[in-house]
Amino acid sequence: MKFDVLTLFPEMFEPIKQSIIGKAVERELIDINLINIRDFSKDKHKKVDDTPYGGGAGMVMRADVVYDAYKSINSEDAKVIYLTPQGNVLNQKKVENLSKEKHLILLCGHYEGIDQRVIDKIVDEEISIGDYVLTGGEIPAMVLIDSVSRYIDGVLSEGSTSEESFSHGILEYPQYTRPEIFEDMKVPEILLSGHHQNISKWREEQALQNTKLKRPDLLNRQ
Ligand code: 58G
């Protein structure tokens, strides 16, 4: 999977080069290419934004600069996504479907957003990571890269995405590891029994109870 990211702040993507995603990049399972939109400003002051037509607060990213940055990418067979609070809200099903694409171009806005004309011209889908406003699309882009990359073959250990929370539409069962006793609290006896059938049954019950308690809304969905 290739991710091209159009952003004014490529340095913001340093954290995603850590841990599991960093390893996946090293192993060439995924490729994350950062394009600095500012490099495409023709202005001597490298300006990328301007005041909104019609008035109002803040600055708007210029259509021509964003378009020139986009045109520097080979976008054949790429899906272009604009991260915006106005987009379709991301969920696990959507993440799984996006992981089937070969090439995603992620457009990150800042300030009051991007001139609508370039959005209309190049964007295939608008996606939001939840109903709140952020200062930029960079964190949502990282959320998308992280969640989608987990579905790329080889990124996680075998079975990690099919077994997990949300793939069955309910929450996870609780996990325990050593020590067997922590601050007077014992690990549930059944997990030490070695009886795999009973353990599976217990975990299913725990997952269902957990969901009823914490996210009852997930159980009333079709
Ligand atoms: C209104 C406000 C429209 C994604 C800001 C457009 C991006 C939240 C999300 C914007 C974002 C989300 C400018 C800053 C998009 C632009 C960006 N905020 N919920 N902010 O996924």
Give 112-130 pLDDT, tens digit per residue.
Answer: 999 999 999 999 999 999 9
Q: Where are the domains of the chain?
A: 2-149, 163-222
Hey, do 2-149 and 163-222 end up sharing a CATH topology, with the first three levels equal?
no
193 Cα to the center of ligand 1, angstroms: 50
Please say whether the beta carbons of 133 and 85 come within 8 A: yes
208 CB-side CA count, 13 A: 6
* Ligand 1 atom at minimal distance to the Cα of residue 134: 18
CA of 104 to the centre of ligand 1 (A): 19
Q: Which CATH number fits domain 163-222: 1.20.58.100, 2.60.120.1130, 1.10.1270.20, 3.40.718.10?
A: 1.10.1270.20
- The per-residue pLDDT for 165 is 67
Considering the entire predicted model, what is its pTM?
0.96
Distances in Å between the Cα of 21 and the Cα atoms of 18, 144, 162 are 6, 12, 19
133 CB less than 6 Å from ligand 1? yes
Ligand 1 geometric centre to CA of 29 (Å): 29
128 lines ligand 1 (CB under 6 A): yes
Q: How many residues are given for the chain? A: 222
Nearest protein Cα to ligand 1, atom 10? 113
Give the per-residue pLDDT at 222: 66
Which residues of the chain carry a pLDDT beneath 70?
165, 167, 222
Q: Would the CB of 9 count as within 6 Å of ligand 1?
A: no
Q: Is 113 in the pocket of ligand 1 (CB under 6 A)?
A: yes
- Measuring CA to CA, which residue among 137, 135, 158 is closest to residue 90? 137
Instruction: Please give the distance, rounded to the nearest whole angstrom, from the Cα atom of residue 146 to the centre of ligand 1.
Output: 18
Query: Ligand 1: which atom is nearest the Cα of residue 128?
Result: 21
| Helix/strand/coil for 187 | coil
How many other CB atoms sit within 10 Å of the CB of residue 77?
Answer: 9
Q: Which of 182, 221, 174, 222 is nearest to 202 (CA)?
A: 174
Residue 20: the pLDDT is: 97
Does any ligand 1 atom lie closer than 6 A to the CB of residue 130?
Answer: yes
CATH topology of domain 2-149: Alpha/beta knot (3.40.1280)
